[in-house]
Structures are given as structure tokens and as C-alpha cells.
Structure 1
Amino acid sequence: MTAEPKIIDEVENVVVPEVVLLPVEDVAVPADTKEPEKKTFPRRGGDRDRGGRGRPTRGPRKDRDERRSEFAQKLIGIRRVARVMAGGRRFNFSAALVLGDKKGRVGVGLGKAADTALAIEKATRAAKRGMLTINLTKTRSISRNVEAKYCASIVEIRPSPGRGLVAGSSVRAVLELAGISDVTAKLLSRSKNPLNNARAAMEALKAVSKK
């Protein structure tokens, strides 16, 4: 019989070094691992109240909204128009509106663009450029009868104390946004074009507007 080899268990003789756990505060952090300090730069311009050249502070939101809503507008017509080009037809939108502050200032504008919002914006700018200032009486009426013609539209406007505003079509929108009351307006033509009727009313109001 062969003798079995002896297995020497040397695990018991192995010396395990002791591990000492240090608190986090005592551990030294290398200089390379520290976070770089954030640099603060001086503000450009400075405060306007302190004599700097900074941007002036904006006013309260309520005041800005009041400036925006100085004029009221009413859309009197919007339609899609087409232009025949070499490559085919190009479609745009045409918008007509009346703009006024109901205090004697009123204007009519027309705008065309590929988008309805842009067309309305162009019409608003056109109405502001052609705005009239009406001479109103103490009762917010006009002083005399006026009549005018624009293309095929003929409009007559006459004062009528105590009756209020009597008008129709786009002529009523022009008179309302101008702040005119106690008048009677009448269309003397058969034109159904709201833009021409509004412009005929504007031509009539030129006779009682400030030069």
C-alpha cells in the first residue's frame, strides 16, 4: 500500500494585518482632486440707478399691457387670394381691419401675407399709418353732415342727437372705434364690399377731422 501524502494546513500560520479605519475628516485629500474655485466676474454696465450704463428696468406688467391695448381692432374681412406665377398659383391671405382708440382716432388697413397672423399684423401697421383724428363735439358726435364716395361705395353720415349710433356694415365698426355716437350713417350705394364701405366712411370723416 502506498502512503497518503500529508497535507500541511498553513492557513493557521498566515498572519493577517489589521486594517485601521480612519474618519473621513482625518483622510488627506490630494491637491489635484480639489474642486476649482468658481471665478466671479463683475457685471457689465452696472445699475442705472447708481449712474451706470445698464439696461433700464422694465415697468410693471400692468403698465405694459395698457400701452399694448391702447387701440382696439375689429376684423372686417379676411380671404384667401391667389397670384398666378410661372410655376403655378401662389396663395396668400388678405386681411382688412379697423383700428381705433374710441377717443377720436381711427384708421383702416389692409395687409397681405402667406400667414393670417402676419397679414393682420401688416394691416395693423397700415391702419396706424393712415389714422385720422376726428373733431368730436361734447356729445361725442360730429358737427355737420358729411358724405363721400370711394370706388363704388357712397356713405352719408349725419348727426342725430339722442338716437345713439345707427349704422351697419363696416361703417359701424369705423364709427364705434372712433368713439362717435349720436350719428346716423347710410349707404347710398349697392356695394357689399366691406373694405370699400369702411374707406368711404373714412373719406367722409376727413371733412370733420383735424388737419
Structure 2
Amino acid sequence: MERKINKDKMGRNTNNNNVRDWDLEIPTDDETDEDDDRFTEDAIRKRAELHDKKCQRHEDLVRNFTNAETFEEAYKCMVTINKFEEMHLKIPLEYKVIGEMMNRLRGATGKEKFMLQQKLHRALKVVQWKEKYDPNNQENYGIIEREEDSPSVKDVEEDKEEFDLMRGVDDDGDDEGDFEDDKDAELLEKLSAIDKNLEDKLALLDHTFGRKGRALEEEIKDLADERNALTEANTRPLYRKGFKERLITVNRTCKVTKGGQVASFTALVACGNLHGVVGFARAKGPKVPIALQKARVKCFQNLHYVELHEEHTIAHAVQSNYKKTKVYLWPASTRTGMIAGKTVKCILKLAGFKNIKSKVIGSRNPLNTVKAVFKALNAIETPKDVQEKFGRTVVESYLL
């Protein structure tokens, strides 16, 4: 028995030694010499022919539906068309959602129309991005990597045109473009030189104290102001046409540090198009113009839609509170005008209201007042909202 077991062990070892390591390796997809069958000319031609057949079949079904003489025949054609589309011409879910929103947009008005337009814009952007960077799409094979590594000349030119439009530059001549490129190069050189000086002086500031340290801090402040001035002169923010901006308040705060007092400013700005779209924003900055510029840019990212009742007032009385501020709004008849405080009057005028009575009770902090007013305007229910909510028709009281 022992001799038999030893012989079996010796035979297994010899067999294992004869097998080479590369014989056990399984070839991967990258190592195979055969090309992918999906991208051969025959496969591509077959797919194109199949797609043409499906389209032809779909056209025949639609023609049968249009030529149907009775309702029963038309219903049968509709069922077959639906089955054929679900099986062969399946539409992605995103396109179905966009189609439903487009159908709803035809009969929408007021706030619903505004919200649907915003949603449609976002949905189209998402679909466009998904199609461009979808790795499962056959049209994108071998394109995404090239775009990431080396963008095409066309994309570079389009990006340059968009950048020029944002800065307000017109393509009138090549000489002007060359002159602006030289200007940009000079500006970049100045900014890089200022950044180097700032880094050096900040490194020295860790090891200097007393009068020398204070002098260094003043130099650093001067350099930072110079850099901010250069960047502000080159940036031109875009504002929407038809909108008006109003400054509500500017608040100054001062922080006491080791080097001295550091002042900062907070600006509260409201904007509106006088037709139901209004927004507000708050921004901070070391100077008033910087804070105002930031607030104006942010203001257009926080827009609200308010329904105008009979194009001059609100639909009903409403009250709202934010922290210690309470705001009351009442509808008013024509020729009444705006009976409101400075802050509330500014927002209501930007929204497009002409006849409203209001009262603010409690804290008169401008920011709290603005937030309370927007809370009240968003809580207003129009007759159409009430009709949809309860499923009944709304009629004016004097008609009953």
C-alpha cells in the first residue's frame, strides 16, 4: 500500500512539472487576435437593413391607420402600432417625459408655464449630456477618449467664441482680436508676478514680528487690492434683459485682528421683470462694488414666479412670519396704489403689483422682512389653484 501511494504522488508531481504556466492562462479579450464581429462591414450593413425594414413596416402600419374606414379597424391598427413600437422602436424614458411636458406646456399659463419651462430646460440639458457621454452608445465608441485627451479644433473655437461673448467682445476684425490677446497675456503676466510676491511675503510673515510684521501686512493688503482691481476690471457680468435691480440695504461689519481692523460689506439686492418674476440675493465682499456684483449675479439664480390677479393686485389677503417679523398683505382696488414700507414696496413693485396694502409687525430687519414677503407671495392661491385643489369651478361672489 505504501509503495502504491508513493508511486501515485510521484506521478502527480511529474505531471504538474510538465505543465507550463502559460498553458494555464486564459486568454483575455484584449489578447484575442479576432476582431469584434459587431463592427465588421457585414454586421453594420445588416443592422442598417434591419432598421430600414422596421421603419418601412412602421410607415405601412401608420398608413393603414389613416386609411381605416371604421372605428374598430382604427382601434386594431392603434394596438398593433403600440405593440410594434414597444418591441422594435422603443423610446427612452427621458424622451417620453420631455414629450409629456411639451404637451402640458401648450395649455399651461402663469406659474405652471414658468415651472414647466425651467424643468424642460434642465431635462434637455441632461439628455444632451447623457447622449454625448454615454459609453453604451455605439456612436460614441472611440470618441470620448479622444475628446478628453485632445479636444478638436472646432470645440476649441466654440469655447473661445463663448468666452468672448461672455466678456462682451465682438469679432469685427483679426487685428482687434490680436490686440485683445496681447492684453490678456499682459494681464496674466501681471497676475502671476503679484501672486509670486504674495507667496514670498506670506512666507516671510511667519517669521517676522513687531513693526516689520505690520509693514509686511500692509504690503500684502496693497498687493491683494491691486490683484482684485485687475480681475474686477476684466470681468463683465451678464444680466438678463428686461429685469430691473434694486439695492435694499448695505451692511458694514468690522473684524478686529492682530494686524488691525478688517472691514467687510454685505449687500442685499432684489430683481424683477415687472411681470410676475422676482428674486433676491445677499452677498459679501471686502468692498461695496464687489458685494453688489456678487449679489446681482446670485439674484438671477433665485427667481420666484408670482401670479398677478387681474394684472394689478393679489388674489386674497395673506399673512406670513419669519422669525420675529410678521407681514400682512391685502388686495386693493384700482387707484389705491402701494401702501407699504420701503422694503416691501420695492419687492412688490419689481414683481409688477400696483395696488396692495401691507403692514409689517415686529422686527424691521430688512433680510427678515424680505424673506417674510417672499413666503407670503408663495403662499397665495389663485382661483385656478383652488379649482384644481377642490375640483370645483370658482365664480366671483357678485355673480351669485
Give the TM-score normalised by the residue count of structure 2.
0.35
Q: Does the CA-based 8 Å contact 1:147-1:154 persist in structure 2?
A: yes
Amino acid at match of 1:176: K
Root-mean-square deviation over aligned CA pairs:
3.1
Of 76-85 and 109-118, the range deviating more from structure 2 = 76-85
Q: Which residue does the alignment assign to 2:283?
A: 111
Fraction of identical pairs, as percent: 28
Q: Which residue does the alignment assign to 2:368?
A: 196
2:379 is paired with a residue whose SS is helix
2:299 is paired with a residue whose SS is helix
Alignment of 1:100-139 (within 5 A): 100-139=272-311
Amino acid at match of 1:187: V
CA shift digits 1:13-53 (9 cap, x unpaired): xxxxxxxxxxxxxxxxxxxxxxxxxxxxxxxx9xxxxxx98
2:275 is paired with a residue whose SS is coil
Alignment of 1:1-211 (within 5 A): 55=161, 68-85=240-257, 87-162=259-334, 163-189=336-362, 191-208=363-380
Work out the number of aligned pairs and report it.
Answer: 156
Amino acid at match of 1:177: L
Amino acid at match of 2:271: L
2:314 is paired with a residue whose SS is coil
CA shift digits 1:176-200 (9 cap, x unpaired): 00001221111122x2322221221
Higher relative contact order (CA 8 A, sep 6+): 1
Consecutive unaligned residues in structure 2, runs of 5 or more: 1-152, 171-238, 386-400
Instruction: Give distance in 2, aligned partners of 1:154 and 1:126.
Output: 26
1:129 is paired with a residue whose SS is coil
2:300 is paired with a residue whose SS is helix
1:188 is paired with a residue whose SS is strand
- Cα distance, 1:105–1:138 mapped onto 2, change above 3 Å: same
CA shift digits 1:83-139 (9 cap, x unpaired): 344544321111112111111011121110012111012212332222210011223
Cα deviation for residue 209 of structure 1 reads 7.6
Q: Does the CA-based 8 Å contact 2:315-2:381 persist in structure 1?
A: no
Amino acid at match of 1:164: G
1:94 is paired with a residue whose SS is strand
Instruction: Give distance in 1, aligned partners of 2:268 and 2:250.
Output: 6
- The structure whose residues are more often strand, as a share, is 1
Q: Does the CA-based 8 Å contact 1:166-1:183 persist in structure 2?
A: yes
Extract structure 1 runs of 4+ deviating beyond 6 A: 56-59
1:120 is paired with a residue whose SS is helix
Instruction: Give distance in 2, aligned partners of 1:110 and 1:182.
Output: 27
Cα deviation for residue 146 of structure 1 reads 1.4
Instruction: Give distance in 2, aligned partners of 1:125 and 1:94.
Output: 14
- Cα distance, 1:206–1:197 mapped onto 2, change above 3 Å: same
Consecutive unaligned residues in structure 1, runs of 5 or more: 1-44, 46-51, 62-66
CA shift digits 1:54-95 (9 cap, x unpaired): 959989x9xxxxx74421111111122123445443211111
Amino acid at match of 2:333: P
- The structure whose residues are more often helix, as a share, is 2
CA shift digits 1:142-186 (9 cap, x unpaired): 111111111221111111122122111200001000001221111
- Cα distance, 1:145–1:112 mapped onto 2, change above 3 Å: same
Amino acid at match of 2:250: I
